[in-house]
């Protein structure tokens, strides 16, 4: 199977089986999306969604958030991973939006990564979700699933995986493919115990084929 055939097969599968693929984070504006993505680092979307209603009720804008009291903001997000650092990041991000971007969330990766708490992955999420730009955010799910399916080869870093995925995916589908891979990794291609019996891509999955060969070899040795 050529690389193009592999990508075409994966795209067709997800188009048929996951026609609607969106972030599971709850937000209404670009500012809210930026906040929730910062909070979601090494934390579940479910936990973030439990915290943000009260957070956005009290601090609905960059101006309001920038003026927040550290201890009050910390108290609102303390159930989220790394609340101390994230409190600092949110306050710094909001202030920089006011100082450098007129209170608006910029829509380029280059500008977004200047903000405290915003790395390339977060910037890619914001620009792909809000602007449907062809940017691929590679989190642990995307990194794992793309490698197992053979979409990436010898990619040892998220950036390396991102470059390979962007190169081979149809440009107009990159923003959607990000969610396909995340959701597949979250609910089917689990890290420790992938649910291969529920997956329609095992025929091309590098990981699955290796596991089958290993099992066959073990069975032959025992017999």
d(CA 105, CA 63): 12
Q: Is 196 flagged in the annotation as binding?
A: yes
Residue tagged active-site, from 63, 72, 88, 121: 121
**Is there a binding annotation on residue 199?**
yes
139 tagged catalytic: yes
Distance between CA 220 and CA 223 in Å, rounded? 5
43 is in an annotated binding site: no
Q: Which of 46, 139, 163, 217 is catalytic?
A: 139
Q: Distance between CA atoms of 111 and 18, rounded to whole angstroms?
A: 32
Number of H helices, E strands in the chain: 12, 0
Whole-number Cα distances in Å, 72 to 39, 63, 78, 84, 106: 16, 16, 10, 12, 27
Element (H, E) at 176: helix 174-187
Is residue 89 within 8 Å of 117, Cβ to Cβ?
Answer: yes
Q: Is 153 a residue of the active site?
A: no
**In angstroms, rounded to a whole number, what is the distance separating the alpha carbons of residues 190 and 196?**
9
Binding residues for [4Fe-4S] cluster: 189, 196, 199, 205
Catalytic residues: 121, 139
């Amino acid at each position: 199977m050529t690389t193009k055939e592999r990508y075409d097969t994966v795209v067709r599968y997800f188009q048929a089986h996951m026609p609607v693929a969106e972030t599971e984070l709850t937000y209404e504006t670009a500012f809210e999306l930026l906040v929730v993505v910062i909070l979601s680092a090494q934390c579940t979307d479910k936990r973030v969604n439990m915290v943000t209603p009260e957070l956005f009720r009290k601090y609905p804008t960059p101006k309001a958030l920038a003026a927040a009291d550290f201890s009050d903001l910390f108290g609102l997000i303390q159930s989220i991973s790394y609340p101390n650092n994230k409190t600092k990041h949110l306050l710094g991000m909001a202030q920089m939006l006011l100082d450098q971007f007129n209170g608006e969330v910029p829509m380029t990766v280059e500008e977004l990564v200047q903000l405290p708490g915003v790395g390339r992955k977060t910037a890619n999420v914001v620009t792909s979700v809000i602007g449907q730009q062809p940017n691929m955010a590679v989190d642990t799910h995307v990194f794992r699933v793309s490698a197992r399916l053979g979409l990436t080869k010898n990619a040892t870093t998220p950036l390396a995986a991102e470059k390979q995925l962007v190169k081979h995916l149809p440009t107009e589908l990159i923003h959607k493919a990000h969610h396909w891979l995340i959701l597949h990794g979250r609910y089917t291609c689990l890290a420790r115990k992938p649910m291969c019996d529920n997956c329609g891509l095992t025929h091309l999955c590098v990981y699955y084929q290796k596991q089958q060969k290993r099992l066959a070899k073990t069975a032959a040795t025992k017999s």
